[in-house]
Structures are given as structure tokens and as C-alpha cells.
Structure 1
Amino acid sequence: MNTNRQIIHMDQDAFFVSVEVRKDPRLIGRPVIIGSLSDRGVVASCSYEARKFGVHSAMPAKLARMLCPHGIWIRGNMDEYSKASHEITAILKERVPLIEKASIDEHYIDMTGMDRYHGTQQYARELRAVVMKETGLPISFGLSVNKTVSKMATNECKPNGQLSVDTSNVRPFLNPLSIRKIPGLGEKTFIKLSDMGVKRIHQLAEVHPEYMTSILGKNGIWLLNKAKGIDDSPVVPYQEQKSIGTQSTFKSDSIDLEAINYLLTTMVMELAFELRQNRKQCACVTVTVRYSTREDVTKQAVIPYTALDSVLIAKTKDLFKQAYQKRLLIRLVGVRLSNLVSGFEQIDLYSESEEQYSLCQAMDKIRRRFGPDAIKLASGMNLNL
């Protein structure tokens, strides 16, 4: 483990709620719940006041209403949350050497080698103050030797806090915490470890590596390292966040718009499935049209973060209409989704109707079982390009 790294984790406090509070200060101190009120709806986010009643994200709306009957429900506006996210990212990018946007509301910053440890701590404080002053949104940070410990430090000092854990204090900080606090530890693994009597991180850190491997496979060592405060994963520069895309060259140049629109729809559905499989969403769609003259025309649009088929298909078709102006034969079309961040469920639980979200889940379940080509649109099945 490199103990000389200086990694800052910055996380917005109840981000969606904070954006709503900025817009309407009357919500300050109130049990605010972002999500849909229907019985099939879910909680996308909630204020800390609502959390005191047991409400949490991804909870069914029906249960949340039972736990917090006086909660103030807001459907939410993904466009506003996306804009606020971009605003914060822009502020941070201007002021740090290396930044990774881990999700819509959290960033990792690598300050290794920039200053002495306490200098970095002071700089993190100043950075946090700048974000709060310029955006009016609360933010917390953790500073430590790697991404795992810094994120856990942030989680321990939220809301509206800051915590530094230096090398000598990594294990003392981690040891008494519940294993639930380890990022990436799922519910099934928690239950399995709890049944073994392993409920605290210090207990997990003492389990023999071979035994961890026997019960959890390769993830056992990964989890054991996290319990010991070991994490060598790098901070990935934001501008190098990968995109995903696909393109199709036609057998012969075509002007069959019905077939082309069907093809674009199929391409987007495949890409959106890949996003959801990787628990990602995108904020930018790019469409490329190559004419028979070999001239390329590209159109791009920034959109609210999403990974839902319906949103991406509509935007892709709109961009294609913008790109296809010359009425010439087309040789190739391509679609690329970029500005990727983590957290599909966090974003899309409410951004579309519950029916759209449920439809995506059902189709993905079929794809995972029978393969990515198991789901096709009925219209256009016989179209050929």
C-alpha cells in the first residue's frame, strides 16, 4: 500500500434534496423525499430529517409514506440536478491537478506530491468552502491515503463535515466500523459474513485469506484488503472517462429512413443495456452520419444523466434529423454515449415513469439470461441495411 498518497473524496450532502432546498429555502430542516408517490414508485433521495424515520434511497414509496407520513414529496428535476453536478465539477476541475467524477454527486481528487499532508488538508477545506460559496450547496470531504478510506471518512463526517485520516490512523479508524460501511459490500455478502459472526471491520481483517477466497471467491481478497485499508486503485482523470459507442456501415448506400431509424433504435438499446450492466449513466449523446460522398456530419447534445432507452432513443433520433440535411445516400451511422458516471439506480428511479423503469429491468433480466439479442423491437424486424 502506498502510504504517501493524498486522496480527497468530496461528496454532496443529500444532493437532490440540497438542490431543491437551494431553490426553496422553506424546505430547510424538513423531511423532504424525492421520488414518485405512486405505489410502484421508489425513493430517489431524501433529506437527513427523513432518514431519521428510516427512509432511504431505493425504498418503495409506499413504505416511505408509512414511515414518514408527514414527509414532503417532490418528484424531482433531473435536468436541474445534472446542471448542478456540472457546475460543481467545473469548479473543482479549475482548482485541482487530477480529478475523477465518480458519480453525479461525488468526486475523487489526487493531491499526491502537491504539498505536505497538512497542506493538502487545508487546501481541501478551502476547496470545500469555495464550492459551498459559489453553489450554495453543502458538501463534505474525507482525506486519506486511498479512495476507499477517504470515501469512508466522508461517510462518517456527513452531513456538512470534513475528516482526515492519516496513515497511522487508518486501521484505528476502520476497525470499530460495521462491515456495512465498506463501499461495494452488498447485502448478500453482509448476511453471509454476519452469519459467520463477522460484523465489524476488525473482525473481517483477521479472517484468513484462503478462507475468504473459499467463501467469496476472488472478491474475498478484494474485500479483505478494503478491511485492512488497502486500495491501490487510481484516480481516473475526468477528461479520460471512457465513452461507449457503436456504428454500422451499410451493405449498400441507403436513403431508407425507416430502416435507419430502426437501426439507430437497436443500437441505442444495446448501448443503454451496457450502461445499466455497468451501473453507469451518460450525459452526452453523439450521432454521426457518413454520406456516400464520405463526408461525415456529427451532432452532439448534452442531456440530463440517464441510462433509460426511451430518453436516449428520442434524443438519438432528434440528432439524426439534425445531421441528415443533405438528402444524400447514407453509408454509415454511429452513436456514442459519453460523460459517463456511476449510479444508474440513483438517477433513474424517478426520472421516467415507473413503467419505463420496470420495462428496462424486465428486458435486462431477459438479456442477462438469454443473451443481449434476446430482445428486439417488433417493428422493423424485416428491415435490411
Structure 2
Amino acid sequence: MENKILHIDMDAFFASVEQLDNPALRGKPVIVGGASERGVVSTCSYEARKFGVHSAMPIFMAKEKCPNGIFVPGRYGRYTKVSQEIFKIFNEVTPLVEQVSIDEGFLDISQGKFNDGMEAARYIKNKVFREVGLTLSIGISYNKFLAKLASDWNKPNGIKEINKEMLPDILFPLPISKIHGLGKVSVAKLNNIGIYYVKDLYNMPKDFYIDCFGKNGIDIYNRIRGIDNRKVETLHERKSVGKETTLKFDTRNKEELAEYLKEFSFEIEEILRRKNVVGKTITLKFKTKNFENHTRSKTLNYYIGNNSEIFNVAKELLEDEELNEEVRLIGISISSFKETEMEQISLI
């Protein structure tokens, strides 16, 4: 069996949950985000995306682009419950599930009830839609890079399979921004020397990759040749769980940055709860517009796993910072894990 890895991404997850719970919102431009003008868009429906609205866009800008948009505050507790229902279905298929975020995960089906990636994907799509009422997109391949690439191919509600026989031709027409590991700066750098598509980059010698990207150069070289040896990792194999994002617009506004931390806290709580662990070290990470990385950590003398506790520590770390430069990336993580005590079930 060649295809063992599935990458699953829910379609406009938060907005889709809002449309599921309120049928009056279906087919309309729904925008989920912060309540204030300084907030940011968490996600939006595909109807809103037609107007140019996207995740991480400031709310005031989303209102300019989509004046008829329906703005709703995030209900992260509800999204967490729906996510748990969905990941429960994933875990029925295979024990090897890596939850990347509240609405995204990798599955290794080499252990599980299915012998074929397409069969597993159809089962998951049908069961999630039947039992939860939402659609998702699935990529199937023999490694994580290609599976994630495939899941974005036919969104929304799509399935795409990439096998070895398709390479490298299927990658050649893609813009280099599709390559995992290439950020905005690297893409701009390559564009400036006439490299826009994977085919352009593919033809460069191996030394070029090392000169451009340092130690990550070989990873980039291998990925566009269909080589990615990263494993699907369950939480117990990971030293930390975190979430970060590169902002569409650099900012020093702590209220805006805190909105991201709040959203990340809900996602992290959901992962911890599903894996039955808690942690006690919270790390704030941010990168300034000059690409200087900063991390600040706080280790508690007790373990936490609740979103509000995680957020409060992260916000405290943020408030203690003097942001002399605008921030272009923000993230938090939790580490120093221990398993939580399982509630004993009475047999009487």
C-alpha cells in the first residue's frame, strides 16, 4: 500500500459551524472574529472569501471589503466540542492521528481498519457529514508534504490523491509559495531572481538550495522531489504543543495580538484534552518585522490545560514585553507534560 498518509482540513471550520447551528446564515458571507475594530478575522465562509476577506485580516478591513458581511463573535467552546466529535471519527480509523490544530490533522493509516487511502478518505468524509453535518477536504499521499498539498487542491469538500507516478510533473506548475518551508521572505527572494514556479526551482543545483536556505535547503530540495521522511506524531511523541501564525499586517497592538493568543489557547486546550495530558510551561514566541525571534517562557508550579489558564499566562508574558518593533509572527506553546488522571468508571 503506497498511500498511507491523509491530511484532513475542515472547510472554513468556524464559519461552517456557525452556519450549521444557524441555518439562516447558510449561503451568506459569515465572518468570525474579534468583537472590536482592533480584532482580526478568525475565519470566514467561502461566500465572504469572494470579496477578498481572509483569516488574520483586521476586522475594520474586512468590513471595508465586505460591507454586507455578517460578523459573529467566536464561540470557541462550541468549536472545540465539534472538533472533538470529528477527531473521534479519525481515531476510529487509525490510532496514528496527529492533531495540527482544532480543524486540521494528519492520519497514518498503516495501522487501522483500511488498506487504501481513498477508501479511508471517503469513509471519513461520509461519516463526518452524516454525524456532524460538516464538510472537509482530504489529501492522500505517501508523505506529509504531498498529503497536505493535496488537501488544498480541490477545496472545499474535495479529495485529491498524489502518488509517485505523478511526480515531479504534478508539482512543476505550482507557485513556489506552495512548498512547505518557504515563507514570504524566501519566496520574494526567489522571485527576485526569476524563480516563480516549482519547475524553476527544481532545475537548480543542490548547492543553490544550501546557499539560499542553509540547513533547511536539503529539505526543500527533497520535498519537491517527493521526499519527506517526517512521521505522523501523536502528542506523547512531541515535547510541546503550540500554534503560531505569520500576520498579514505587522503590528505592535497588544490587543490585536492577544486575539490570536486567545484563539490559539482554545486549539491547544482541545489537543491536550484529546490526548489526556496537561502542561506547566507556557512559551510566548514572536518575530519582529526585522526577523528577530523572541521567546519568553513561564513555568508554573502546577499543571494547566484549560484555555483560559493558558491564555492568561500567555497574555501576561505579552503584557510584560516592550514591543519596540512591529510584530510579524505570534505564537504560543505548552510543554512539560504529564498525563491527567482518568476518572474511574464504576462497574456496580
TM-score normalized by the length of structure 1:
0.64
Shift of 1:27: 1.3
Is 2:12 aligned against 1:26? Answer: no
Shift of 1:120: 2.7
| Distance (Å, rounded) in 1 between the aligned partners of 2:14 and 2:167 | 31
Match for residue 269 of structure 2 among 270, 276, 283? 283
Answer whether contact 2:99 2:271 (CA < 8 A) is retained. no
Work out which of the two has the higher radius of gyration on C-alpha atoms and give 1 or 2: 1
User: What are the superposed Cα offsets for residues 239-298 of structure 1, whole Å, 9 maximum, x if unpaired?
Assistant: 545458xxxxxxxxxxxxxxxxxxxxxxxxxxxx9xx8xx88631799xxxxxxxxxxxx
Residue identity matched to 1:58 = A
Match for residue 336 of structure 1 among 303, 328, 331? 303
Shift of 1:110: 0.8
Aligned counterpart, 2:344 = none
For residues 62 and 175 of structure 1, do their structure 2 counterparts lie closer, same or farther at Cα, with a shift above 3 Å needed?
same
Aligned length: 282
Aligned counterpart, 2:187 = 190
Aligned counterpart, 2:169 = 172
Match for residue 129 of structure 2 among 129, 132, 139? 132
User: What are the superposed Cα offsets for residues 62-121 of structure 1, whole Å, 9 maximum, x if unpaired?
Assistant: 22111111111111111111111112111211221421111111111112376997x331
Aligned counterpart, 2:106 = 108
Superposed counterparts of 1:27-176, under 5 Å: 27-36=25-34, 38-112=36-110, 119-176=116-173
| Distance (Å, rounded) in 2 between the aligned partners of 1:52 and 1:232 | 37
For residues 214 and 181 of structure 1, do their structure 2 counterparts lie closer, same or farther at Cα, with a shift above 3 Å needed?
same
Shift of 1:339: 9.6
| Distance (Å, rounded) in 2 between the aligned partners of 1:40 and 1:105 | 25
**Structure 1 vs Structure 2: percent identity of aligned residues?**
37
Residue identity matched to 2:224 = A
Aligned counterpart, 2:340 = none
Aligned counterpart, 1:376 = none
Match for residue 213 of structure 2 among 202, 211, 216? 216
| Distance (Å, rounded) in 1 between the aligned partners of 2:283 and 2:22 | 28
Residue identity matched to 2:78 = E
User: What are the superposed Cα offsets for residues 32-91 of structure 1, whole Å, 9 maximum, x if unpaired?
Assistant: 111125332211111111111111111111221111111111111111111111121112
CA root-mean-square deviation: 3.7
Is 2:199 aligned against 1:202? Answer: yes
Answer whether contact 1:21 1:27 (CA < 8 A) is retained. yes
| Distance (Å, rounded) in 2 between the aligned partners of 1:27 and 1:223 | 42
TM-score normalized by the length of structure 2:
0.70
Answer whether contact 1:282 1:307 (CA < 8 A) is retained. no
| Distance (Å, rounded) in 1 between the aligned partners of 2:148 and 2:319 | 29
Residue identity matched to 2:44 = C
User: What are the superposed Cα offsets for residues 1-48 of structure 1, whole Å, 9 maximum, x if unpaired?
Assistant: xx9451111110011111111111111111111112533221111111
| Gap regions ≥5 residues in structure 1 | 245-272, 287-299, 309-332, 341-347, 367-385
Residue identity matched to 1:43 = V
Q: Which has the higher helix share?
A: 1
Answer whether contact 1:35 1:75 (CA < 8 A) is retained. yes
